[in-house]
Amino acid sequence: MKVKRYLSSVFVIAELELRKIRHDQSQIWLRVVQPALWLTVFGVTFSAIRSIPTGDYTYLQFMTPGILAQSVIFVAVFYGVVVVWERDMGLLNKLLSTPTPQSAIVIGKSLAAGVRGLFQAAAIVVLAMIMRVDLILTPVSILGVFAIILLCGMCFSSMSIALASVLRNRERMMGIGQAIMMPLFFASNAIYPISIMPGWLRVIAVGNPLSYVVDATRSLLVTGNLSSIGIDMAVICVTTGILVALASLGFRKILS
């Protein structure tokens, strides 16, 4: 019974966010614009240059999983700003006065960030299909990618919520978000393989959870080689678990 109530709290918190999206869908589509430009401008240009070694695959094939992941982290990394804003509005105080456990609030909110990511991912996959990027689209690969995207959204949004409870103000959150975003994206295998990086950067890229998200997505959508997906999923799940726990523990601090 307790577990049921807990899970239902998580889903209600996520439902709240989804209802907002339903009332204003433009926020989803506007978020698709930037990743779409990465594919159509950056992707098309770099395909023409052929300067990045992507093995047997075209550059667009190679980068599509990276752009999928990017579209999710762009939302997730700034999710803490939303939480700070809700704190300022008094919404959090009231939410915490209900019997909802704070970890359920954190998981529910990060789940919502993941679901936002799903809509965007779906839009980008459709765009890639229109651009005739050759992707493996089977029910299994699509479900697998959706699961990874959902976890990716939860992972980086809970990181952002954890940071919000330390930084506690919107300006700082914007600053840290931008500071994290750049190395997170470029020090990963999202738009070029780790093998072309200098040694020190490789170390960072291997420690970057986004690399595992992209690798898992790439295995499913492009190469079909699932040999490393077990490790990828393990890293993503453990990282998400740790970040959710950190965000839950610190959540009440955001109020003071």
Partner 1 sequence: MTEAIVVENLVKVYPGVRAVDGISFSIAEREIFGLLGPNGAGKTTTIRILLTLIKPTSGKLSVLGVDALAYPEKVRQLAGYVPQDVSVDGEITGYENILIYAKLYGMPADQRKKRIKEVLEYLGLEDRANSMVNTFSGGMMRRLELAQSLVNRPRMLFLDEPSIGLDPNARGAIWALVRKLRDEFGTTILITTHDMVEADALCDRIGIMDRGRLAVIGKPGELKSTVGGDILSVCSQAANLPAVVKELGYSTIAGSANGTVDLLCTNGEVVIPRLLEDLKARGVETASVSLKKPTLDDVFLKYTGARIGEGEGEGGSWKQARRTRRTFRKLTR
50 binds partner 1 (CB under 8 A): no
Among 49, 55, 90, 198, binds partner 1 (CB under 8 A): 90
**Continuous segment of H or E residues that includes residue 21:** helix 2-23
Least distance from C-beta 109 to partner 1, angstroms? 13
Closest CB 112 distance from partner 1, rounded Å: 12
Q: Nearer Cβ to partner 1, position 13 or 229?
A: 13
Per the CB < 8 A criterion, the answer to whether 31 and 126 are in contact is no
Identity of the amino acid at 105 = I
Nearest-approach distance from CB 87 to partner 1, in angstroms: 10
Going by the DSSP 8-state scheme, the letter that residue 99 receives in this structure is S
Percent of the chain as helix, strand, coil, to the nearest 5 = 80, 0, 20
Tell me which stretch binds partner 1 (CB under 8 A): 72-80, 92-100, 118-126, 190-198: 92-100
Q: Of 40, 45, 98, 225, which one interacts with partner 1 (CB under 8 A)?
A: 98
Question: How many residues are recorded in the chain?
Answer: 256
Which string of b and e fits 6-26 if b means at least 16 CB within 10 Å? eeebbbebbeebeeeeeeeee
State which of positions 7-26 bind partner 1 (CB under 8 A).
8-9, 12, 15-16, 19-20, 23-24
Is residue 177 a contact partner of residue 77, using CB atoms and an 8 Å limit? yes
Told to check if 89 binds partner 1 by CB under 8 A, we report yes
Cβ-based nearer residue to partner 1, 16 or 245: 16
Q: What is the DSSP letter of 196?
A: G
Tell me the C-alpha distance between 256 and 93, whole Å: 10
* Shortest spacing between CB 213 and partner 1, in angstroms: 29
Which listed residue (40, 93, 169, 178) binds partner 1 by CB under 8 A? 93
What Cα–Cα distance (Å) separates residue 187 from each residue in 150, 194, 199, 217? 22, 8, 12, 17
Q: Please tell me whether residue 201 binds partner 1 under the rule CB under 8 A.
A: no
* Closer Cβ to partner 1, 45 or 93, answer by number: 93
Q: Which residues bind partner 1 (CB under 8 A)?
A: 5, 8-9, 12, 15-16, 19-20, 23-24, 88-91, 93-101, 255-256
